[in-house]
């Protein structure tokens, strides 16, 4: 499947004064057949005058020790997810404006999300196996199992129970289990520059972000860690399909080198 076919909504976050990054991203997305809606990010940057009278960045932190720009980004994500919740959107792909897809991104994403058929063996509930009393040589009448039958199942490499699907992440992201193809179950990831989220995850993530205690990627990852059995997080390994391109970081206020995926 294509990215716009799989995710009901695709958005990218861009600050008002970074038209350059917005234009670069839109051109890059068009080359990959992706259409995205721009969401204006909340600007948390603060400035002060230096000794020369020039405006320079003045990094501030809130009462929890979270930097101003990270708190603003959390608020931007809360706005996106709250609106998706209100609109009944099934899933959203959220990108930062410095994302860059790999040359094989379209093909890999299609492989991970393509619907396939496979034959699996399951219990035949209409063909029970009854216990047998060898002393009386009679059935006990108690069901002790079932005979098996083959059924054809529709599936994709990315399991249908996904809550978060990571298209890119930083080195150090921990893959828990190989699912199929390049899809792995993931925990403890960092770098949320390109990730998909399903509606079951909206409310838990909103509540985690609203604490304003940690950067967004840590907050989202913590939700997954606390709900490993119910909120499943998957990612594309060994290399994801999205990196952060080298650019002037709005958060750091300096050129940040490209961050490779795991």
Same domain? 190 vs 146: no
Same domain? 22 vs 147: no
Same domain? 146 vs 215: no
Decide if 74 contacts 219 (C-beta within 8 A).
Answer: yes
Residue 251 placed within a domain: yes
User: How far from the centroid of its chain's Cα atoms is residue 49's Cα?
Assistant: 39
Supply the Cα-derived Rg of the chain in whole angstroms: 24
Nearest to 189 by CA among 257, 237, 230, 229: 237
Same domain? 141 vs 211: no
Same domain? 66 vs 148: no
Residue 262 placed within a domain: no
pLDDT < 70: residue spans in the chain:
57, 170-173, 190, 239, 247-262
Q: Domain containing 232 — which CATH number?
A: 3.90.550
pLDDT at 62: 84
What HEC string does the chain produce? CCHHHHCCEEEEEECCCCHHHHHHHHHHHHHCCCCCEEEECCCCCCEEECCCCCEEECCCECCCCCEHHHHHHHHHHHHHHHHHHHHCCCEEEEEECCEEECCCHHHHHHHHHCCEEEEEEEEEEEEEEEEEECCCCEEEEEEEEEEEEEEEEEECCCCCCEEEEECCCECCCEEEEEEECCEEEEECCCCCCEEEEEHHHHHHHHHHHCCCCCCHHHHHHHHHHHCCCCCEEEEECCCCCEEECCEECCCCCCEECCECEC
Same domain? 49 vs 144: no
Give the separation between CA 175 and CA 111, rounded to whole angstroms: 19
Same domain? 181 vs 219: yes
pLDDT at 14: 95
Residue 175 placed within a domain: yes
Total structural domains within the chain: 2
Q: Which of 153, 172, 199 is the endpoint of a domain?
A: 153
Give the separation between CA 39 and CA 247, rounded to whole angstroms: 19
Same domain? 31 vs 59: yes
Same domain? 135 vs 11: no
Q: Which domain holds residue 141?
A: 117-153
Residue 179 placed within a domain: yes
Same domain? 170 vs 121: no
User: What is the pTM for the complete model shown?
Assistant: 0.82
Residue 261 placed within a domain: no
Same domain? 226 vs 166: yes
Same domain? 177 vs 245: yes
């Amino acid at each position: 499947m294509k990215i716009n076919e799989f995710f009901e909504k695709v958005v990218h976050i861009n600050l008002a004064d970074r038209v350059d990054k917005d234009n670069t991203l839109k051109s890059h997305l068009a080359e990959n057949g992706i259409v995205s809606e721009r969401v204006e990010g909340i600007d948390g940057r603060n400035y002060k005058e230096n000794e020369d009278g020039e405006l320079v960045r003045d990094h501030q932190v809130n009462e929890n020790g979270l930097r101003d720009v990270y708190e603003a980004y959390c608020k931007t994500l809360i706005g996106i997810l709250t609106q998706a919740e209100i609109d009944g959107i099934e899933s959203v792909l959220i990108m930062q404006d410095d994302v860059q897809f790999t040359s094989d991104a379209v093909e890999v994403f299609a492989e991970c999300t393509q619907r396939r058929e496979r034959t699996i063996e399951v219990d035949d509930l209409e063909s029970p196996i009854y216990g047998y009393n060898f002393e009386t040589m009679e059935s006990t009448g108690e069901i002790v199992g079932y005979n098996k039958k083959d059924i054809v199942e529709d599936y994709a490499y990315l399991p249908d129970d996904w809550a978060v699907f990571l298209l890119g992440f930083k080195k150090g992201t921990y893959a828990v289990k190989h699912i199929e193809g390049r899809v792995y179950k993931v925990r403890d990831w960092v770098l949320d520059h390109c990730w998909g989220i399903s509606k079951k995850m909206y409310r838990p993530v909103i509540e985690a972000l609203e604490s304003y205690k940690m950067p967004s990627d840590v907050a989202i990852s913590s939700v997954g860690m606390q709900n490993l059995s119910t909120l499943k997080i998957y990612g594309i390994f060994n290399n994801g399909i999205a990196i952060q391109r080298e650019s002037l970081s709005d958060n750091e206020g300096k050129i940040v080198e490209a961050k490779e995926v795991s």
